[in-house]
A and B are shown apart, each in its own frame.
Chain A
């Protein structure tokens, strides 16, 4: 068990550029989640996948955001035309199977800074 990994750990970009983040869940976990954490706040849910199916999206996920999990393993989160308000820590989590007693395990996060 190598844990949830995320890449890159840090990303600095200019306003208007596109960025893509990757998350590799714990192997055999079929649930994958994305959260966003801004300074001084707790993480906020963005979206989650069961295998390759995206089952829920938060209203926070504007049309500039898109997430995929094409083969039910790793996931990518893309932000198009970044804005300064997108600066945040983007956290990925995975869980085994979504049962009632399921537990989400988090990766180290990708810190995005939009200049």
Chain B
């Protein structure tokens, strides 16, 4: 079975500072990995995805993520955070041959002025 751990429940970052959100997954083979963002009261918007190939993937809104097989991680990064990035971020995994996404519990990002 697949599982995802997001160890940070809340993170506060100053506007303009860099950001890294952690995600660790558990799956026996190479997984498909996703990061979604959810603004208050809203659905989920896809930021980026990894299926294969280059382990550094670029997404929307200036986000990127790096797949590290040896660490079973898929951390999300952004070099300079904007106040509008304040939201909840979810990492998700989908196993090969499976359809359902398995989500982590999310990390709430707060951006301070």
Contacts and interface: CB of A to CB of B under 8 A. Distances in A.
Interface of A: 4, 6, 31, 33, 35, 40-45, 48, 55-56, 58, 91, 93, 98, 100-101, 103-109, 111
Nearest to A47: B100
A31 B101 CA distance: 13
Interface in B32-68: 32, 34, 36, 41-46, 49, 51
B99 interface: yes
B45 A56 contact: no
Interface in B89-113: 90, 92, 96, 99-106
A42 B41 CA distance: 14
A98 B99 CA distance: 7
Given A45-B101, A55-B99, A106 B51 contact: no
18 contacts: A6-B43, A31-B99, A33-B99, A33-B100, A35-B101, A40-B105, A40-B106, A42-B4, A43-B44, A43-B90, A45-B102, A55-B99, A56-B100, A98-B99, A100-B32, A104-B46, A105-B46, A106-B43
A106 B36 contact: yes
Interface of B: 4, 32, 34, 36, 41-46, 49, 51, 90, 92, 96, 99-106
A60 B42 CA distance: 23
A42 B43 contact: no
A107 B43 contact: yes
Given A41-B105, A42-B90, 17 more contacts: A4-B43, A33-B100, A40-B105, A40-B106, A42-B4, A42-B103, A43-B101, A43-B103, A44-B103, A48-B99, A91-B43, A91-B44, A103-B46, A106-B43, A106-B45, A107-B43, A108-B42
A106 B42 CA distance: 10
